[in-house]
Structure 1
Amino acid sequence: MIRRFRRFACIDWSGAKGDRQKGVAVAVSDGPGRTPKLIERTWSRGAVLDWLLDHARRDSDLLVGIDFSTAFPFLDAGGYFPGWAESPADARALWRLVDEICAGDPHLEAGAFVDHVEASRHFRRHGGRQGDLFGAGNGRYRLVERLCRDGRHGPATSCFNLVGAAQVGKSSLTGMRLLHRLDGRVPVWPFDPLPETGPAIVEIYTTVAARTAGLGGGSKMRDADRLRAGLAGYGIRRPPRLARYDDHSTDAILTAAWLAEAAARADLWHPSALSSEIAAVEGWTFGIP
């Protein structure tokens, strides 16, 4: 048995500096086949935290997908940061460490962690700076990221890469601060079991939603026609009218439509390669069976 949620939300996240973020977007769906609604405002990461906590207080029947990696690779090297005595033992300890080191960074930013003398050894940073423990090629991958790439669900990138348009490391670090601040008040799958009531969070990858919708030629939607084509893949014929068609808003809308359908699939809640041990240290991307 799997829980049936009534509403679904997608949060497109950002690791950029500053308070209000054009890269953060939130869209909500009332169910499969229903047109998702974009909450049109300029979000801060703190405002998203408050929004999630408000849903926790109201015990909302809401499944929330957030577009960042909830942990770093662990299994491939037996730890997140081999060689560092403070390397955490599991994902929750990782969230706490990131938030503690970045306590002086405003707006849930994560610059202090990126530049930390030990942590920085594992990152590829701007200016040609690559840590001596970054790894070969494009960096280390979590198990789910390797399966995502091998199964052609999308070109998942290493969280340790902080360079380029496709990098997800900065958003993942700021996301870990968010998860630590939630402090269990909104359960996060698969680290937590799904609650019988109230909201829950899953990690999502917006490219999976675009590919499942049948969008060719890349996953980005920068105009009304492209968004309409994506939503048609989920049986939605009336796309929302937006003041601006940017990647973040359209990603949130399309992925909310995908999540409303995907949440009913039992196989996505029980990936064959996922164990409780893997869940505790690397988590999982919902949508990769």
Structure 2
Amino acid sequence: MAIAPDRFSHFAAIDWSGAVGARQPGIAVAICTHGAEAPTLVAAEGGWSRAAALDWLASTMPPDTLVGLDLGPSLPFVDRGAFFPGWSDSPADARALWRLVDAICADDPHLGASSFVDHDAIAPHLRRHGGRKGVFFEGRGRLRVTEEAQGLQGLNPTSALNLVGAAQVGKSSLTGMRVLHRLAGRLPVWPFDPLPASGSAIVEIYTTIAARAAGIRKGLSKMRDAESLDRALAALGSAPHRPLARYDDHATDAILTAAWLRTTAHRADLWAPPALTPHIAQTEGWTFGVS
């Protein structure tokens, strides 16, 4: 699949958060255009919330933007033939999963996902706080095919069924699924949707992939000062960034990953990884940048 260099006009990255609360310090949005100018942070009045991020994606984001969301848009399916093996109501594909998460969590404020985590049929498949490891949760937890591929690339993916620890991605993933469900019909999400010939699109990102591409060694992927961020940006052909009021992992990850998307969006091989089958595309999805 050939991708024209000017297929997208903007490149955005969103560092996501699954934390409880109305405003999320862990959400950061960065965007850039073609050229060498560094990505800039997008501010939200009062700070970002998941609802504000949903509104930005649906109605404020510039046209023809490739936007990466740092979250898992689905759960493991292929290894067991189901998201939740043995449960008769286990969803058949990712979009049905998004719909289920949103329905179960309809009364959870701020697009949270606590009700899904505590659901009687789902909790046995999860590892939750307080030493509550479900009877079906084994080892480090099940992985999607794209996460297995990440491991082969030297990365260290974490199961989205694990909701414990600093590296856990489960809460972000589940709250993100509520957002993806509400964007249905308004914004395509690759590879669940084919990449359209024009318009904006969402992909899943893993910010560590951008860090590795920028030459940041394993174990040193977090940038917490201006100099580190500018060195990484320079490795991706970007000019120095505008000084930030505060340097944290969320802001720097979003800025660097937006710059990385700008350098990789035209690569046909990343839109057609050999292991991505139609079945995987509809159930588990794929991380952009994993070959």
TM-score normalised per structure 2:
0.95
- 2:11: which partner in 1? 8
Alignment counterpart, residue 114 of structure 2, candidates 107, 111, 115: 111
**Structure 1 segments unaligned to the other structure (5+ residues):** none
Q: Does residue 1:36 correspond to 2:39, yes or no?
A: yes
> How many pairs are equivalent?
285
Letter in 2 for 1:141: L
Question: 1:253-281: per-residue Cα shift (whole Å, max 9, x none)?
Answer: 00000001110111000001101111000
**Mean CA deviation greater in 234-243 or 16-25:** 234-243
Q: Name the amino acid aligned to 1:126.
A: H
Report deviation, 1:208: 0.3
Offset, 1:32: 4.9
Q: Secondary structure at the match of 1:53?
A: helix
User: 2:183 maps to which residue?
Assistant: 182
Partner of 1:227: 229
Distance 1:155 1:33 in 2: 30
8 Å Cα contact 1:6-1:30 kept in structure 2: yes
Contact 2:40–2:241, Cα closer than 8 Å, also in 1? no
The CA distance in 2 between the partners of 1:221 and 1:215, in whole Å, is 9
CA deviations on 1:208-247 (whole Å, 9 max, x unpaired) are: 0001100124211111111112111112232221000011
**Structure 1 equivalent of residue 59 of structure 2:** 54
Q: Runs (4+) of structure 1 moved beyond 6 Å? A: none
CA contact (8 A) 1:16 1:170 kept: yes
Report what 1:65 is aligned to. 68
Q: Find the residue that maps to 1:259 and give its secondary structure.
A: helix
Give ranges in structure 2 of 5+ residues lacking alignment. none
Structure 1 residue aligned with 2:163: 162
In structure 1, the residue matched to 2:211 is: 210
Specify which of 83, 87, 90 is matched with residue 87 of structure 1. 90
SS in 2 for 1:64: strand
Does 2:130 correspond to 1:127? yes
**Over residues 102-129 of structure 1, what are the superposed CA-to-partner deviations in whole Å (9 max), with x where a residue is unaligned?**
0000110000000111110011011111
SS in 1 for 2:23: coil
Structure 1 stretch 31-40 or stretch 95-104: which is displaced more?
A: 31-40
Report if the CA contact (8 A) 2:72-2:160 is conserved: yes
TM-score (norm 1): 0.96
Give the structure 1 partner of residue 145 of structure 2.
143
Deviations 1:105-160 (A, max 9, x none): 0110000000111110011011111000112x1000000000101121x2111000
Question: Identity over aligned residues, as a percent?
Answer: 61
On the 8 A contact 1:9/1:28 being kept in 2, the answer is: yes
